[in-house]
């Protein structure tokens, strides 16, 4: 989503006032505000007296969230954006909440017997899993070789070439299509 919006902003003249620019900014702002609200909620619910592990998790998450935004601001990557940092921080907050709300200690976890909390954990976990599979399964090589492309290059055939392979089956020559032999794509291997 981030790549698509950034490429659309570039195509529309690079202005933040373009349609894609506004969508990018609004998505970033809503995600960041949601992250801050979720972090404050976690501080209120899980940072009770005597819960040092929870305090540690919360402080580390807060520092890492600020650092992620800072790394984007110093432009370590040309294709990075604040939206990427906001989405990564959302996932980090989810993992933290899931860990703290799974604690059996009733003093540090007010939701030890809450079925609603468990249901929310499962639903959010399925959402993040589905989203990750959708992104990985739908990704394709965009020109620059990635680490996974390099590692899997020996297992794949060139996707741009149409292979005419003769397969002999019971004395009859068949084309690759007739024999159901197809090249393996990068997205298939990653999936």
How is residue 168 written in tokens?
Answer: 């002999």
Per-residue pLDDT of 95-153, as tens digits, reads 998 888 888 888 888 888 888 888 988 898 898 888 878 777 766 545 555 555 555 55
pLDDT, greater one: 164 or 188 = 188
Is 0.85 topped by the overall pTM?
Answer: no
Distance of CA 3 to the CA centre of its chain: 13
Which pLDDT band holds residue 175 (cuts at 50, 70, 90)?
A: low
pLDDT over 90 at 190, yes or no: no
DSSP at 155? G
Domain assignments of the chain as residue spans, ordered by start: 2-138, 150-190
In the predicted model, is pLDDT for residue 61 greater than 70? yes
pLDDT of residue 160: 47
Element at 168 (helix H, strand E): strand 167-169
Tell me the per-residue pLDDT of 63-98, one tens digit each, with 9 for 90 and over: 999 998 888 888 777 666 788 888 889 989 999 988
| Mean pLDDT computed over every residue of the chain | 76
Residues 108 and 46 sit within 8 Å (Cβ to Cβ): yes
The tokens describing 113, both together, are 């017997």
171, with CB counted inside 10 A (0-12, 13-18, 19+), is exposed
Cα–Cα distance between 89 and 78 in angstroms, integer? 20
**pLDDT top residue among 181 and 110:** 110
CB-based burial of residue 14 (10 Å sphere; 0-12 exposed, 13-18 middle, 19+ buried)?
exposed
């Amino acid at each position: 989503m981030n790549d698509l919006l950034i490429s659309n902003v570039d195509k529309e003249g690079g202005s933040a006032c373009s349609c894609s620019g506004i969508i990018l900014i609004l998505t970033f702002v809503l995600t960041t505000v949601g992250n801050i609200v979720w972090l404050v909620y976690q501080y209120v619910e899980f940072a009770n007296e005597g819960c040092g592990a929870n305090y540690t998790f919360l402080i580390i998450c807060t520092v890492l969230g600020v650092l992620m935004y800072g790394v984007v601001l110093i432009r370590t990557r040309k294709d990075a954006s604040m939206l990427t940092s906001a989405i990564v921080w959302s996932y980090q907050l989810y993992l933290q909440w899931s860990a703290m709300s799974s604690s059996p200690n009733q003093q540090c976890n007010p939701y030890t017997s809450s079925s609603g909390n468990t249901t929310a954990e499962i639903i959010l976990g399925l959402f993040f899993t589905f989203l990750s599979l959708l992104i990985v399964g739908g990704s394709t090589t965009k020109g620059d070789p990635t680490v996974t492309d390099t590692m899997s290059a020996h297992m794949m055939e060139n996707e741009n070439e149409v292979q005419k392979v003769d397969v002999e089956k019971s004395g009859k020559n068949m084309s690759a299509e007739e024999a159901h032999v197809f090249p393996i794509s990068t997205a298939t291997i990653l999936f």
